[in-house]
Amino acid sequence: MNTLINPALKTVKLSRFNEHYFPAINQYQFEKLDSTSLFKQRFQEFELTNTLHIVIGLDSGLLANYVMEMELPKGSKFIFVELEEVTQVLNIDIPERQQHDIFICNFDELATLLESPILQIYFQQFYCRVSHSLGAAAGHLEGYLGLKSMIQTTLKVASMKLTNILSIQKFMTKQLDNAADNQVPAISILSEYNFSAMTCIVVAGGPSVDGQIEWIKLNQKQLFIIAISRVAGKLEAAGIIPHIVMTIDPLPLSLSVSRGLLPLSDRTLLVNAYHAASEIVGQWAGVKCYLGQQLPWSNEQNFISDGPTVTNTAINIAIALQFKHILLSGVDLCFSPDGHTHAKGSLESEINPAILGHIGQWVETNDGQLAETTIQMYTALEVMQSKIAETDGVEFINLAAQAAKVDKVKCQDAKNVILGEQVISSEAFFAQVKQKFSAFNTKQQLQNTRNEINAFKDKLLKVEKLVEQALPLCAQLDLLKSDLKQSAKLNKQLSRIELKINNSDSGLIKLIKTFGYLQFMSFLSVQQIGSLTPEQKIAQTYAYYKSFNAAVSQLLKVVTASLSKVNCRLKELDVDVPLSELANSWREDKQTGRVLIWLQNHKNAQNTRIANSELVEELVKEYTLSTTTSDKPYESYIKARSNLKPVRTKIELLKNEKHLAGISQMVRSLTHYENQNEEASALYWFALSVKYELEGDLVNAKQAILNIPQEQRGISELKQLISTALHSNDLDTAILGFEEISHFTDAHTVKHAQVLKLMGKVQESVNLYLDYLEKYPEDVVTWVSLGVYMFDIKQYDAAKTAFVNALNVEPENELAKQYMHKLTA
């Protein structure tokens, strides 16, 4: 623990309301209004029930006291995250009765606290809310800027972990969907090779790959090339044939971004994760092998698919294959200097850089610069860092200076890399792999898969029967809950059923609950079990069996669909099965490309091929269309992610965080788009203004905003104009800003009036106050402010009127009462 006390926190003030606070944290926030009144106005969300509140900062301890003294909403909990330097000088005792509902921690303790099972339920059911204390929002104490950013990242990571958990059902569904096509484990094909003396290059889709493709082409005879799916087509267009292409993404859009790999099916080996997109796995007409387990309950020996990205998986496979020299190309894991995430030719690179509106992490690059990255890429970077750290005897070289820096990965220009002996060519490797595949009996393997799935389905049906027996008992228990004797009998029957379920195959029950995580979440309660009433316990038991039934039913649907696909694959091998029957299945699965595989299977059945030539032609056309037509939903997604709307918010956040490197990057990125349209131009000048402000150049900061045409200046720009004008003592320009911003909002009217007061324009100032209060007569703070103003200029009747109006709204307002006492003394 840091034992040094921040000198700024040695000063404690007592407010006029008899409340102690640290000026370093709250300055004068508690001098105009007592903390309780302020907090009631500011934190109305604290009244929400069944909510986990994560509150940044304690407001000198006053905010924690406020929460401890209020009646906590049913099912709600509060976590206060405070700077360690502040908790050192505060002594807050949480009453024993509230210690399960209110927590105070430092940032380092937050992640562990959030892993508490009861708090996890709030995350799982999305009942989580983040609030900033007054002190944290104002950021007077410098540490709060970093704390807010770190907490935001922690919550993003927690959210991403939750997303991964909630995706388990999708992954298992995809696993069963692919079971018919995942017939050859990667380890059975690749483990026999000795790659230790060869140089491997992992080629990913980052922007830096554009500058390295020519070098890869010139040196491909000395490189074993593992390419991720989205860059395979780019390599093929350059005359580079990868030895292995990898894909792991389960989403259908994976085909949209990787369609360039499909023409390589007769020249390269596809290595896919067990959960990869069926649109790719099911339509790959060449040789392929899978990573991970074929079926959710399998326990076979194989290389694992451990992500989180396909690039991580590709590097892990290169390590598993025992390459001793691994080069990285396009493995950037951060935005390029001009704000791009993907190589040229991709949809992402053709649209405005994602960096413009994205709020992410900052990392150091190989050339010592700072670059921004997404939380997903940052997580991939951390996982890669960990994997490489535990890998001995392997030389890793990243060919890009602009890539994110990773320990134990050297950065070297490609022209200076010394390559090892000549590797096996992609043609020879493919021929060998194809020969190995010919040893597999596809029909026998499909029959084995069908038998395994059928056996699992039988066990699943038995569990479903038990669960269905429990449901009517739960319904009766709910109806007869007042009949203790009958309730006891029903509970005994339920216990026997639960015992039978638990005595079933333990692996099966665990698999059902893992698969049905989403369904089981519905019966979880954010209230502690001990606090449930008997009626609530009955309802929860009923909900549990409903969830169990929903999970089993859904899993049965998926298993049945998997069996159907296995049977379809077996029919594909039978020349007597009508092609029209198969075509219906392929169209339903959006896998008309399987007609090419059917043609391979029956290349010697000339009569059958001729008889079906018209349908074959139709299916080939449909397949070609599906792999060449642009993916409109994906285009819309990328365009929505890359629009300029979030850019203004990002500029404001970087300003609040005083992030000069970040705002400088924004200015550089926006320079490319300054003349694109009026909105981009306004954002450029806004970002430049903030950059000047952070550099201490208030004159140019103000001028940058004035360079924006008046009709393009919005609230954010006008707030910046007012701020820079006031801080440079240019009151006339500040008034211009106030007048313009009044067309958008009344929020700055009071400050406008105060500036007019400073300029000696008393009547204009008072008129503004009165106009504002006519609109918002419930605004106690402004009534009090006007009252103090009138008192100071000896307009006692007007002051009294203002304080009376304040007290009419809030009879216990201490400041108004004090002034009324002075006025009536």
Helix and strand numbers (H, E) in the chain are: 39, 16
Q: Residue 518: its pLDDT value, please?
A: 77
CA 555 to chain CA centroid, Å, is 27
Q: Residue 462: its pLDDT value, please?
A: 95
Query: Quick check: 767 and 748 in contact, CB under 8 A?
Result: no
CA 127 to chain CA centroid, Å, is 17
The encoded tokens of residue 89 equal 């000088």
Other CB atoms closer than 10 Å to residue 795's CB: what's the count? Answer: 17
Q: Residue 674: its pLDDT value, please?
A: 67
pTM over 0.85: no
Q: Please spell the DSSP secondary structure of 311-348, one letter per residue.
A: HHHHHHHHHHTT-SEEEEES---S--TTS--S-TTSHH
Q: Enumerate residue ranges in the chain where pLDDT < 50.
A: 1-2, 526, 529
C-alpha distances in Å from residue 748, one per residue of 682, 728, 745? 22, 19, 7
First and final CA of the chain: distance in angstroms? 54
Tell me how far apart the alpha carbons of residues 656 and 665 are, in angstroms, rounded to a whole number.
Answer: 16
Dmax over CA atoms of the chain, in Å, equals: 113
Tell me how far apart the alpha carbons of residues 548 and 466 are, in angstroms, rounded to a whole number.
Answer: 10
Q: Residue 669: its pLDDT value, please?
A: 82
Nearest to 205 by CA among 371, 407, 380: 380
The encoded tokens of residue 484 equal 């203790």
C-alpha distances in Å from residue 141, one per residue of 58, 497, 748, 763? 12, 59, 24, 37
Which amino acid is present at 604?
Answer: N
Residue 364 belongs to what H/E stretch?
strand 361-364
The encoded tokens of residue 171 equal 């992954």
Tell me how far apart the alpha carbons of residues 778 and 399 are, in angstroms, rounded to a whole number.
Answer: 64
Query: Quick check: 680 and 644 in contact, CB under 8 A?
Result: yes
> Quick one: residue 351, left, alpha or beta (phi over 0 = left, psi -120 to 50 = alpha)?
beta
Q: Residue 532: its pLDDT value, please?
A: 67
Tell me how far apart the alpha carbons of residues 191 and 199 are, in angstroms, rounded to a whole number.
Answer: 17
Tell me how far apart the alpha carbons of residues 339 and 486 are, in angstroms, rounded to a whole number.
Answer: 69
Rg over CA atoms, the chain:
33
Tell me how far apart the alpha carbons of residues 426 and 232 are, in angstroms, rounded to a whole number.
Answer: 13
The encoded tokens of residue 463 equal 């569990």
Task: Classify the C-alpha dihedral 237-238-241-247 as positive or negative.
Answer: negative
Q: Determine the Cα angle at 677 with ends 676 and 679, to 5°.
A: 125
Q: Residue 1: its pLDDT value, please?
A: 45
Please identify which residue in the block is written with the tokens 């194809």.
434
Query: Quick check: 426 and 241 in contact, CB under 8 A?
Result: yes
- For 560-596, b/e burial (b = at least 16 CB within 10 A) is eebbebbebbbebeeeeeebeebbebbeebbbbbbbb
Nearest to 300 by CA among 291, 313, 308, 310: 291
Please identify which residue in the block is written with the tokens 């190995």.
436
Other CB atoms closer than 10 Å to residue 106's CB: what's the count? Answer: 17
CA 625 to chain CA centroid, Å, is 33
Q: What is the 3-state secondary structure (H, E, C) of 136-168?
A: HHHCCCCHHHHHHHHHHHHHHHHHHHHHHHHCH
Cis peptide upstream of residue 308 (ω within 30 degrees of 0): yes
Tell me how far apart the alpha carbons of residues 736 and 759 are, in angstroms, rounded to a whole number.
Answer: 14
The encoded tokens of residue 461 equal 């049906």
Give pLDDT tens digits for 152-210: 878 877 777 777 777 889 999 999 999 999 999 999 999 989 998 899 999 999 999 99
Q: Residue 343: its pLDDT value, please?
A: 52
Q: Residue 67: its pLDDT value, please?
A: 97
